[in-house]
Amino acid sequence: MTSKRTQELIQADKEHQVHPWWITGQEISRVFEKGHGIYLVDTEGKEYMDFASQLVCSNLGHHCPEIIEAITAALDKIHYVTNFYGQTNVYAIELSQKLAQITPGGLKRFYYTCGGSEATDTALKMARAYWYFKGQAGKYKIISLYDSYHGLSGYSINVTGLGGGRMHSPFGPAPAGFLRVPSYYDYRSMFGDVPDSAVMSARFMEKVVQQEGAATIAAFIAEPILGSGGHVEPPAEWWAMVTEICRKNNILLIVDEVMTGFCRTGKMFASEHWNLQPDIMTMAKGITAAVLPFGGVAFSDEVYSAFEGKPFPHGFTYAAHPVCCAASIATIDYYLKNRIAENAAKVGEHIKNRLDAEFMPLPCVGQHGGRGLFQAIELVTDKGSKKPISVAQNGVLTQKLYEQGIWTRIQGPNLNRMEICPPCTITVEEADKALDIIKPILAGFKPE
């Protein structure tokens, strides 16, 4: 029986709030008010193990005193100051120095935003402006992947490839210059059941560059490992091939580390797994472990050189907000001091081994993928035909997980990939506890 307080909160929510990705007008079922470790606690006092780090962003779980302290100390000194007009704040400078020591490929120039979509917008505008300032305004097209997710703001939505139109259709035609190519999601390749579909994806991209003309293409954007697209890792040769195509054709490489960055995949940045050297790299989520909304773009000296001596006509009121910068400094310090990337790699490997040994034999598990604490299980009604579970079955399974105190999402291109993305602080024992709850739920799943 739900308490009177929770019922009143839910009713008030229904009267006043519209939520992202929820049926408008339908009552919500949970209201959270606190958290500790990897747990979230709702207004009924029920505890949920967060096995998706919410939107794969709460990298340090749900109560981190070190970050609270840093935020409080910063707030006590300054609330806000703009980063426009030839001024900044001390926290933004310290953060930039810190980021320059950990970003891949020697990136040491930064531009701050309030989240991931703004970071994508900034990266895309930066890529186009780079060629414009170099006198090649005709180089404006951007290539991205189907199955990718880069945000839903007015600009970033044009590179997001996920959703089969669900996210795009209500908003009219896309502006010119955005092209998408098949991803490396091998289990369900757009090329059909063929060997080496990931290699075909890279070759397809090369063909698109040839057909459109390299002189018209500004940049290629991709996540190092597909995130909302199902936590799918590319095979080793894919990144080498697309990097080579970009270099050969003077196409800027934008790597979106919004979800994969900050320890999530077992390295500080997932780019490190393939030694990527992005020209532009986006960050958000783990940059403050989601304690405050924040994001940024890192870019190379070469990209910087095109902007030097001119204003970049772009910016947000809360860019480089001092309190968010202070939170980010404390978050990065925490990652480094407590070797959080190593923990994500270690627990991730343990989870992967259990998925291989104990989950793959289950009739509804078709495949699993990802790395570190950035993994997913592909749920099917039949292994032979690979038919994905239905939306209704997704709902039933998710509800069962909630009832048993596990919070995760089943999403991806076909809404059938269950996220295994707990906070990067999780212990092996906690991961085992969650897997021991999930396994019988999946074992008991009846497709009909």
Ligand X SMILES: Cc1ncc(COP(=O)(O)O)c(C=O)c1O
Give me the least distance between CB of 153 and ligand X, in Å please: 7
Say how far residue 387 (Cα) sits from the centre of its chain: 26
Query: Where does this chain touch ligand X (CB under 6 A) — which range of 137-145, 146-154, 261-269, 384-392?
Result: 146-154
Residues near 151 by Cβ (< 8 Å), separated by ≥ 6? 115, 116, 117, 118, 119, 120, 121, 157, 160, 258
Give me the least distance between CB of 16 and ligand X, in Å please: 22
Q: Give alpha helix (H) positions in 218-372.
A: 236-248, 301-307, 322-337, 340-354
When asked if residue 284 is in the footprint of ligand X (CB under 6 A), the reply is yes
Q: Which residue is nearest to ligand X (CB)?
A: 116
Q: Which of 62, 91, 60, 63 is nearest to 78 (CA)?
A: 91
When asked if residue 414 is in the footprint of ligand X (CB under 6 A), the reply is no
When asked if residue 378 is in the footprint of ligand X (CB under 6 A), the reply is no
Query: Where does this chain touch ligand X (CB under 6 A) — which range of 144-152, 356-364, 388-396, 421-429?
Result: 144-152
Distance CA 230, CA 243 (A): 22
Query: Where does this chain touch ligand X (CB under 6 A) — which range of 72-80, 109-117, 335-343, 410-418?
Result: 109-117
Does the CA dihedral 63-69-71-76 come out positive or negative?
Answer: positive
When asked if residue 155 is in the footprint of ligand X (CB under 6 A), the reply is no
Q: Which of 150, 144, 167 is nearest to 227 (CA)?
A: 150
Q: Which of 238, 197, 232 is nearest to 220 (CA)?
A: 238
When asked if residue 149 is in the footprint of ligand X (CB under 6 A), the reply is yes
When asked if residue 331 is in the footprint of ligand X (CB under 6 A), the reply is no
When asked if residue 419 is in the footprint of ligand X (CB under 6 A), the reply is no
Candidate list 35, 116, 286, 388; residue touching ligand X; CB under 6 A: 116
Query: Where does this chain touch ligand X (CB under 6 A) — which range of 147-155, 318-326, 372-380, 405-413?
Result: 147-155
When asked if residue 381 is in the footprint of ligand X (CB under 6 A), the reply is no
Nearer to ligand X, 186 or 256 (CB): 256
- The 8 Å CB, 24+ separation contacts for 316-321 are 316/113, 316/114, 316/118, 317/82, 318/80, 318/114, 319/83, 319/111, 319/112, 319/113, 319/114, 320/83, 320/88, 320/89, 320/92, 320/112, 321/80, 321/112, 321/114, 321/292, 321/294
Does the CA dihedral 384-388-392-395 come out positive or negative?
Answer: positive
When asked if residue 150 is in the footprint of ligand X (CB under 6 A), the reply is yes
Number of residues engaging ligand X in binding (CB under 6 A): 15
When asked if residue 259 is in the footprint of ligand X (CB under 6 A), the reply is yes
When asked if residue 223 is in the footprint of ligand X (CB under 6 A), the reply is yes
Candidate list 227, 369, 370, 413; residue touching ligand X; CB under 6 A: 227
When asked if residue 120 is in the footprint of ligand X (CB under 6 A), the reply is yes
Candidate list 129, 258, 389, 438; residue touching ligand X; CB under 6 A: 258
Residue written as tokens 């991931």? 116
Helix (H, G, I), strand (E, B) or coil at 144: strand
Footprint of ligand X (CB under 6 A)? 55, 115-117, 120, 149-151, 223, 227-228, 256, 258-259, 284
